[in-house]
Amino acid sequence: MQGGSAPATVGRAPGPRGTQVVFLGTGTPLPDPDRSGPATAIVVDGAAYLFDAGAGVVRRASLGARKGIAALNSVNLKTAFLTHLHSDHTMGLPDLMFTPWTMGRTEPLELYGPVGTRAMTDGIQKAWALDIDRRLHDLQPATPRGWQVNVHEIQGGLVYRDERVTVTAIPVLHGAWERLPIASRPTTRPSSYRRRPAGRAFGCGLPKVRPADLRGLHDALDREGYPPWREYRRAYHTSTKELGEIATASRPGLLILYHRANPGCDQVGTNCGASGSEAEALAEMHQFYAGRVVEAHDLDVF
């Protein structure tokens, strides 16, 4: 997810402890072969809640299942949230809709997203209508409802609650988008840094855990930024300096950089200019924030 927001919350319900944050994809629109599209799974007491559906989301989840997180088995991917409808956050939505179904998911996907999510989902189902028909009525074994999607278009506030978690979303600044809850990290510009009118996006924080275990997830861009994108990123994303101020105020036990503006810039030959590497981002963060900070990579688990 992009930028930085004031956090809302994903609160743990009472019960056995067991919360994992699994980075399924930490990329951006840049086609970095080392990073799938943005997607994060919050696994609470054996149930997975997905936030964003970047390219490769189901395969990354399956790799997580292979590494021992059973909740990420494709048939268990049943609840998902889209922060906004940028293509890098939604390219994996057809994958999330259909691949678990072909693997045996029996119930519809519960999908929460901003206004426009229903139209996007309807369009995907129309595009794959012939495939759906063949799987339902040919010789392939297919459950009758696993391909369906129950879309919940949200406006902010309380958007989801079950016996494990409560998800509350707040609007944040991210260009001209209607953007919604992202449970694992704040993700667009904080309201205190608003510079121009824009549409709504939504952000929310981590499951509530003991203060010593608290983790803050946020994206960030270096202070200069890649020149062609500099104006956009300064308007709608969070700089390392701004993130340092947010983290200093909120004091997370561990600050994790995610969906950073210039991933891939560590590789020789990338068209990123002189700035934007992971090392530079972390060095800048240490200038503005004295706490623990790391950068997430695909399949990292916290």
Q: Is 32 a catalytic residue?
A: no
Virtual torsion, Cα 154, 202, 169, 53, nearest 10 deg: 70
Torsion angle (degrees, nearest 10) of CA 243, 79, 33, 120: -100
Choice among 32, 45, 52, 88 that is catalytic: 88
User: CA 262 to CA 118: how far, in whole Å?
Assistant: 31
| CA dist 208 → 170, 215, 252 (Å) | 17, 9, 12
Residue 118 main-chain phi, psi, to 5 deg: -65, -45
Radius of gyration from C-alpha coordinates of the chain: 19
C-beta atoms surrounding 119 within 10 Å: 12
Residue position matching structure tokens 């402890």: 17
Give me the active site residues, please.
88
